[in-house]
Amino acid sequence: MIRLDCDYMEGAHPKVLQKLIETNEVSTPGYGNDAFTAAAKDKVRLACGCPDADVYFLVGGTQTNATVIDALLARHEGVIAAESGHINVHESGAIEATGHKVLVLPQHEGKLKAEEVEKFIDDFYADETYEHMVAPGMVYISNPTEYGTVYTLEELADLSTVCEQAGIPLYMDGARLAYALAAEGNDVTLNDVARLCDVFYIGGTKVGALFGEAVVASAGWLPHFTPLVKQHGALLAKGRLLGVQFDALFTDGLYEEIGRHAVSQAIRIRDAFTAAGYPPFIPSPTNQQFFRLPNEVIDSLSDAFTFEYWGPRGETVSDIRIVTSWATRPSDVDAFISRIQSL
């Protein structure tokens, strides 16, 4: 069975695993106060072009979102997000569980529009009863989005400007950031992300690590963050495990290499479906591809390949998502394409 369900179905990239093995018996201080973590933080800062950034390592994406958003918001504030945003749909109310509300705006292929964010904030403060309502305290975006789409540099800059003018932080969920950076036509660099977002995280769990996310914050945005991380149960005693992995990911361009590989295999699959008469219903240039297929086609493919339904199965046609990763073998994609061509 060839699995194309998601990008965290295997363990770790061999280079990450090798680094863990090599350092396994080295004794270090706990909670990330070790030389491996310090080196990883420096490599992340260098890659982002932000020598003064604060860098923290957490374990998972939902945990990271809940902790960072809780840290950035006052008690009376909520977070603006697209209706399709991960924190609004697939985090089991984790943000609400911290006492904050997700303030939902329309999604446009998974993205927020700066003018709609600006209008929401302006309308909020134009209401003379605004002190009786949840205030917009930050903006959340994901890149790539839950639909595999990516923000352009202009779109990101416009959102950054709106947030700066409103005096609130722009936060990017970068669970799959490597795949956005490697996307066809992408004009946003990691340096751009660091320059335009006040806080963001670089995902490791979906990009070759066993687990782990690297939070990058402009100086001053996350004061006293470590105690809050611990309050959220997110401070790993063996923190060096996170540092070792990110040290490996940011050595010799491995992080970028993983992104390029996964995207290239996803585009091969997209092109094969398109040639067979089934173009994607969302124009994703990343490692997530979405197709609307007749149920009989899905059933035919499912005997040898796995993928996710994107919503409930329909009566005659259904939407599916196919995802590639560092572990996607070109030979497996060859087999999948052969099956597509035989439909």
Q: What is the CATH number of the domain that holds 266?
A: 3.90.1150.10
Alpha-carbon gap, residue 334 to 23, rounded angstroms: 37
Alpha-carbon gap, residue 64 to 60, rounded angstroms: 6
Alpha-carbon gap, residue 184 to 252, rounded angstroms: 22
pLDDT in tens, 288-332: 999 999 999 999 999 999 999 999 999 999 999 999 999 999 999
Alpha-carbon gap, residue 97 to 84, rounded angstroms: 19
pLDDT at 343: 85
- 49: its two tokens: 């072009």
Domain count across the chain: 2
Q: What are phi and psi of 125, to 5 degrees?
A: -80, -15
Residue 332 identity (one-letter amino acid): D
pLDDT at 25: 97
Are 242 and 328 found together in one domain?
A: no
Q: Are residues 46 and 106 in contact, defined by beta-carbon separation less than 8 angstroms?
A: no
Are 30 and 125 found together in one domain?
A: yes
Say what the pTM is: 0.96
pLDDT at 7: 97
Indicate the residue among 192, 218, 253 that finishes a domain.
Answer: 253
Q: Are residues 198 and 71 in contact, defined by beta-carbon separation less than 8 angstroms?
A: no
Coil/strand/helix, residue 80: strand
Are 172 and 62 found together in one domain?
A: yes
Residue indicated by tokens 């270090």: 28
Are 261 and 215 found together in one domain?
A: no
pLDDT at 320: 98
Show the domain range for 44.
15-253
Indicate the residue among 234, 253, 272 that finishes a domain.
Answer: 253
- 193: its two tokens: 């992300």
* C-alpha 161: how far from chain center: 22
pLDDT at 131: 96
Are 177 and 234 found together in one domain?
A: yes
Are 280 and 179 found together in one domain?
A: no
Are 59 and 181 found together in one domain?
A: yes
The CATH code of the domain that includes 107 is 3.40.640.10
Counting runs of H as helices and runs of E as strands, what totals does the chain give?
A: 14, 12
Are 329 and 216 found together in one domain?
A: no
Are 88 and 186 found together in one domain?
A: yes
Are 164 and 295 found together in one domain?
A: no
Alpha-carbon gap, residue 5 to 111, rounded angstroms: 23
Coil/strand/helix, residue 93: coil
Are 112 and 90 found together in one domain?
A: yes
Alpha-carbon gap, residue 327 to 7, rounded angstroms: 8
Indicate the residue among 204, 230, 253 that finishes a domain.
Answer: 253
Regions of the chain where pLDDT drops below 50: none
Alpha-carbon gap, residue 14 to 261, rounded angstroms: 15
Are 74 and 193 found together in one domain?
A: yes
pLDDT at 128: 96
